[in-house]
Amino acid sequence: MAFRNVFVYPRYPENLERLYSLAYNLWSTWNYEAIRLFYRVDASLFQKVKHNPVKLLMSLSQERIDELAHDDGFLFELERVWENYQEYMSHTEAGEAGKADGLTAGDVIAYFSMEFGLHECIPIYGGGLGILAGDFLKAASDMALPIIGVGLIYRFGYFTQRVNLDGLQEELFLEFDNHLIPVHEVRDAQGEAAYIDMTLGGEPLKVKLWEIQVGRTRLILLDTDIEDNPADFRDITRELYVADREKRLQQEVVLGIGGVMALERLDIHPTIYHINEGHSALLAIARLKQLTRDRKLSLSEAKALIRASTVFTTHTPVTAGNESFKMPLVKQYLESEAEALGLSFEELAEYGLFGENEEVFWLPAVAIRFATHVNGVSKLHGEVSRQMWAELFPGLQTREIPISHVTNGVHRSWLSQPFTELLNRHVGPTYIYCAKSRGLSDKVTHIPDEEIWEAHRKNKQNLVTFVRRKLAVDLAAKGFIQRRIENLTRLLNPEYMTVVYARRFAKYKRATLILRDKERLAKILTNSSKPVQLLFAGKAHPADKAGKEMIREVIHFARDYRLEDRVIFLEDYDVDIARHLAWGADVWLNTPIRPNEASGTSGMKAAINGVLNLSVLDGWWPEAYDGENGWAITAGQFYEQSELQEVAEANQIYDLLEAVITEMYYDRSEVGIPTQWVEMMRRSIATACSGFNMNRVLAEYTRKYYIPAKQQVHSLSANDFEPLRKAMQGQGALLNSWDKVTIRDLSTTADRKDRVCQGEKVEVHCMVDFHGAPADAFGVELYLSQNNIDEFTVIPMTGGEMQGHSRSYACSFDIVEHGLLTMNVRLRPADPILRDSHPELIKWAQ
């Protein structure tokens, strides 16, 4: 028997239909007036459905619907929210960052990510990477940038975390119904539900397309869980970060290759593809196929075009943490792709090679080979990434490896309501677009102490209420009787200084560093005049034993030291919990092993709300920390050995808490305000709002990558790709003669002097032997760097007359600084297109 399933929606009266439209656009999840409107519909139900506006409307009784339809006050408020929404959706002036963008609506940027963290009711995210991607789309909407997201929709999302009475994490897989969240099926122009037909390892696979409206930005999600597919294919989009490697590779083929096909199916033709972390790197393979088939480009032409139009953002500063697969598995899924390109599998596999082991295929290596624009997510992470991937750029000095950085930021929706109101009033609502120069700090300086402290107190009270309510629900689910629950939910004190540690429980993040000396910590927590309470939250990956052990250690510490009233672990860390914690904490603790935290964003969410960071100088923090906007844990940097490092860092945390942080927190004015603390809050807000907001991030991507990429693509593709084809015609001759060409007789005027001083001019000469190679195809340049810092200069050298097979080259420069000067001469392709497409073609003078 073949049953047909049709989902039936409730009928809403006409004057409430707008409520529906609002519910289906995530704008309503970050606009405080819209949120208030949904609370007004039914506050306790709204809470129960995890602030999911769609589920709220689906669950409402007919009686309540009728009531609302006749409630003039409600309809008035609905009208006002609707007007705001219309205004938002149509505004074109997106602040300074947006105005300068130089991108038109036609320059679509496809942003591919394995996870998107948009709202607690859409559990298709696991942690910071997803939150970043979600914030990215929200800010793109604010700024009216032509970005479109591409991802997967998972039937079970990421797992739901429960922690049993012994402190052991248990994973629940709760199925969520796509019909009950703000996502809808994609229909094409003809009104047909959109599917794509692809092959996976040679087998046919049908993929359904869904869409989420993130303000003005679209997010397209791929789904394999449809009846036409065999069971083991339906499973592909079952869960995020599935441990099974084959399933994971299947997901990444669907995301990368299917994603490109999905855009094509929807008649969307991006100018730029942005690979957010290595998972989606296979989109490059799909594009090779597309460009060779539709545009009749050769493989090398297609590759050069893809490089010019691809941005790759890496997020993982440890090689092993990057996505990789064993070659035989990859062969199973990519051999047919190779064939379609006229390549052997081995030739295709070379794109993913990295390191010694040729039996491993690295997705980020594919991404780097197919992207001219590569970046890390903080300054420090950029440096680490250049070192980590240096092997892919043989011949280049580490400092000139074209991997730069764009430090992450957070979307304004992480700003709590009290601080949103405060900043709107004192700074003006444009602070969300601000750059450092806009005088934000000055304006924040003028906000009175009382108002800042009052906003913070509201957030803190809100957190305490939230935790108590959540604990009551969690404990009831564990079978606790009401009396015990009542006792346990009187925990926490809104007057105590509150330290929060909330993030994934991964080993390098060291959640339990602060538990290193339990006696000492217990003393700090129970100090009678300066008490401290400690909140933890975070999931460990189901396969991560060490991560789970850390959760147990936290829970046992609270129990063993009878500190259950002030050391609390909150189950099932998600966006909702993250929000309440980042709003209501006093101190945000972060203790990763440096430099393993690529950026970190939860500290930014805290900082914009005046919560003070106490953090290892890792990720974003070295760029933000100025000595007066939080605290730095630095002691670890002096030790090589991790044991000593940990002791030193833990001791520094205790010292800071005892002697500085609690002192300052409890040092109150006559009216009960910790004046010095509030001053630090101010600085924290100013630093984070101006430097670490998502609009700044998008403006930077636009300026550094999107606009240059767009220009490159346009110039390469003029006249049916004439410049591209021409450059690539020269490629063969260049490659054939590359080995023959040599540099000799390098000399500089500095060589002949005893003493070279600042301000002098230096002349550099050399000879190049071409041995019949086409001399004009080669560029000769001087590489120059001083004092071993990150800067360097490249000066093109001018060629003289050909003398037989050789030609002399020369250039000169003025010495600006004193100190060690390093220089050498090298050869590269003269054609800028070839140079961009072959960063490995570089030959130094011996």
Distance of closest approach, residue 605 Cβ to ligand PLP, in angstroms: 6
* Closer residue to ligand PLP (CB): 291 or 575: 575
* Closer residue to ligand PLP (CB): 235 or 574: 574
Q: For residue 7, give Cα distances in angstroms to 10, 227, 474.
A: 10, 15, 31
Distance of closest approach, residue 462 Cβ to ligand PLP, in angstroms: 17
Distance of closest approach, residue 580 Cβ to ligand PLP, in angstroms: 11
Q: Estimate to the nearest angstrom the gap between the alpha carbon of 757 and the chain centroid.
A: 46
At 113, list the tokens.
């990510």
- Which of 98, 167, 256, 600 is the binder for ligand PLP (CB under 6 A)? 600
| Binding range to ligand PLP, per CB under 6 A, among 79-87, 419-427, 600-608, 725-733 | 600-608
Footprint on residues 198-217 left by ligand PLP (CB under 6 A)? none
**DSSP label at residue 205:** E
Q: Roughly what angle, to the nearest 10 degrees, separates helices 72-90 and 62-69?
A: 80
Residue for token digits 């930005």? 217
* Closer residue to ligand PLP (CB): 485 or 537: 537
- Which of 169, 224, 533, 602 is the binder for ligand PLP (CB under 6 A)? 602
Footprint on residues 446-505 left by ligand PLP (CB under 6 A)? 503
> Residue 494 and residue 492: Cα distance in Å, rounded?
7
| Binding range to ligand PLP, per CB under 6 A, among 29-37, 75-83, 123-131, 208-216 | 123-131
Q: For residue 298, give Cα distances in angstroms to 290, 304, 445, 730.
A: 11, 10, 59, 13
User: Exposed e or buried b for every residue in 4-41, given b needs 16+ CB within 10 A?
Assistant: eeeeeeeebeeebebbeebbbbbbbbbbeebbebbeeb
**Omega cis (within 30) before 595:** yes
CB neighbourhood size of 655 (10 A): 13
Nearest in space to 167 (alpha carbons), one of 493, 404, 515 = 515
Strands (E), 327-461: 360-362, 373-376, 403-405
Distance of closest approach, residue 466 Cβ to ligand PLP, in angstroms: 15
Footprint on residues 773-792 left by ligand PLP (CB under 6 A)? none
* Closer residue to ligand PLP (CB): 565 or 576: 576
| Binding range to ligand PLP, per CB under 6 A, among 220-228, 572-580, 788-796, 807-815 | 572-580
Distance of closest approach, residue 544 Cβ to ligand PLP, in angstroms: 15
> Residue 409 and residue 411: Cα distance in Å, rounded?
7
Distance of closest approach, residue 113 Cβ to ligand PLP, in angstroms: 14
List own/partner pairs for 790-794 with CB under 8 A and 24 or more apart: 790/383, 790/399, 791/399, 792/397, 792/399, 792/400, 794/400
* Closer residue to ligand PLP (CB): 161 or 251: 161
* Closer residue to ligand PLP (CB): 578 or 709: 578
| Binding range to ligand PLP, per CB under 6 A, among 169-177, 574-582, 702-710, 764-772 | 574-582
> Residue 590 and residue 509: Cα distance in Å, rounded?
8
> Residue 274 and residue 259: Cα distance in Å, rounded?
12
| Binding range to ligand PLP, per CB under 6 A, among 77-85, 601-609, 655-663, 790-798 | 601-609
> Residue 274 and residue 315: Cα distance in Å, rounded?
13
Distance of closest approach, residue 126 Cβ to ligand PLP, in angstroms: 8
* Closer residue to ligand PLP (CB): 98 or 317: 317
**Residues contacting ligand PLP: total by CB under 6 A:** 13
* Closer residue to ligand PLP (CB): 618 or 649: 618
Footprint on residues 494-513 left by ligand PLP (CB under 6 A)? 503
Query: Any contact of residue 578 with ligand PLP (CB under 6 A)?
Result: yes
Distance of closest approach, residue 599 Cβ to ligand PLP, in angstroms: 7
* Closer residue to ligand PLP (CB): 132 or 209: 132
Query: What secondary structure, in 3-state letters, does 103-148 show?
Result: CCCCCCEEEEECCCCCCCCCCCCCCHHHHHHHHHHHHHHHCCCCEE
Distance of closest approach, residue 128 Cβ to ligand PLP, in angstroms: 3
Helix (H) or strand (E) holding 478: none
| Binding range to ligand PLP, per CB under 6 A, among 72-80, 104-112, 124-132, 750-758 | 124-132
> Residue 701 and residue 709: Cα distance in Å, rounded?
11
- Which of 131, 163, 380, 764 is the binder for ligand PLP (CB under 6 A)? 131
* Closer residue to ligand PLP (CB): 603 or 691: 603
Distance of closest approach, residue 236 Cβ to ligand PLP, in angstroms: 24
Distance of closest approach, residue 459 Cβ to ligand PLP, in angstroms: 16
- Which of 107, 277, 323, 574 is the binder for ligand PLP (CB under 6 A)? 574
Query: Any contact of residue 115 with ligand PLP (CB under 6 A)?
Result: no
* Closer residue to ligand PLP (CB): 279 or 503: 503
Query: Any contact of residue 573 with ligand PLP (CB under 6 A)?
Result: yes
Distance of closest approach, residue 249 Cβ to ligand PLP, in angstroms: 25
- Contact between 685 and 353 (Cβ < 8 Å): no
Nearest in space to 456 (alpha carbons), one of 663, 665, 659 = 665
> Residue 730 and residue 716: Cα distance in Å, rounded?
15
Query: Any contact of residue 558 with ligand PLP (CB under 6 A)?
Result: no
Q: Is 623 exposed, middle or buried (0-12, 13-18, 19+ CB in 10 A)?
A: middle
Strands 272-276 and 109-113: parallel
Footprint on residues 376-435 left by ligand PLP (CB under 6 A)? none
- Which of 286, 575, 743, 773 is the binder for ligand PLP (CB under 6 A)? 575
> Residue 373 and residue 367: Cα distance in Å, rounded?
10
Distance of closest approach, residue 538 Cβ to ligand PLP, in angstroms: 8
Footprint on residues 166-195 left by ligand PLP (CB under 6 A)? none
- Which of 53, 98, 123, 128 is the binder for ligand PLP (CB under 6 A)? 128
| Binding range to ligand PLP, per CB under 6 A, among 273-281, 599-607, 648-656, 758-766 | 599-607
* Closer residue to ligand PLP (CB): 107 or 571: 571
- Contact between 736 and 333 (Cβ < 8 Å): no
| Binding range to ligand PLP, per CB under 6 A, among 163-171, 358-366, 595-603, 699-707 | 595-603
* Closer residue to ligand PLP (CB): 601 or 690: 601
Give the helix ranges, DSSP H, for 565-674: 575-584, 602-608, 621-624, 642-655, 662-666
The CA angle 202-207-210, to the nearest 5 degrees, is 160
Query: Any contact of residue 601 with ligand PLP (CB under 6 A)?
Result: yes
* Closer residue to ligand PLP (CB): 592 or 674: 592
> Residue 781 and residue 771: Cα distance in Å, rounded?
19
Distance of closest approach, residue 292 Cβ to ligand PLP, in angstroms: 39
Nearest in space to 225 (alpha carbons), one of 126, 153, 121 = 153
| Binding range to ligand PLP, per CB under 6 A, among 559-567, 571-579, 771-779, 786-794 | 571-579
- Contact between 415 and 403 (Cβ < 8 Å): no
Contact residues for ligand PLP, defined by CB under 6 A: 127-128, 131, 503, 573-575, 578, 600-603, 605
